[in-house]
Structure 1
């Protein structure tokens, strides 16, 4: 497989993971941490780090909005138990 195809497949899988987590609001971050060792906040930090490595300015709140699909404060008030 060529590198560009690999990147496109990985990106598609990542987008599907994010979409899945955005629909599974019943799954709390603590549950993810306990079972998988990462949570939505971890994904946000990894996303931010990847952007910064590529010279793109982005704040943590902007990264969390991408991962959560809405501002974190809104997600927290609606779904955090």
Structure 2
């Protein structure tokens, strides 16, 4: 496989993951962190870092909006719920 095709496939895969996470608003970031060790915010940071590596300026809010599909504050107001005590304990490494 040539590099251009690999990059296209990787980009398509990222978009599919991004879109899936946008649709699954019932899945909270803490649950993603506890299960997989990354969340939507991590994707935003990685996107921001990739831009910086290429000499582009992308602030945290803009990177998050690319991942969430809306401003982060809007997403949290619409979809974020309080984490359960169990999820908080697991995230803190207490379980």
TM-score range, shorter chain: over 0.9
- Kindly state the Cα deviation for residue 18 of structure 1 after the two structures are TM-superposed: 0.1
Match of 1:56 in 2: 56
The alignment's C-alpha RMSD in Å is 0.4
Match of 2:80 in 1: 80
Q: Distance in 2 between matches of 1:14 and 1:58?
A: 18
Runs of 4+ in 1 over 2 A off after TM superposition: none
TM (normalized to structure 1)? 0.99
Question: Bigger radius of gyration, 1 or 2?
Answer: 2
Q: Distance in 1 between matches of 2:66 and 2:3?
A: 25
List runs of 5+ in structure 1 lacking aligned partners.
Answer: none
List runs of 5+ in structure 2 lacking aligned partners.
Answer: 82-95
- Kindly state the Cα deviation for residue 29 of structure 1 after the two structures are TM-superposed: 0.1
Deviations 1:30-52 (A, max 9, x none): 00000000000000000000001
- Kindly state the Cα deviation for residue 10 of structure 1 after the two structures are TM-superposed: 0.4
Match of 1:37 in 2: 37
Matched pairs, number: 81
Specify the SS of the correspondent of 1:66. Answer: helix
> Does 2:24 align with 1:12?
no
Match of 1:24 in 2: 24
- Kindly state the Cα deviation for residue 19 of structure 1 after the two structures are TM-superposed: 0.3
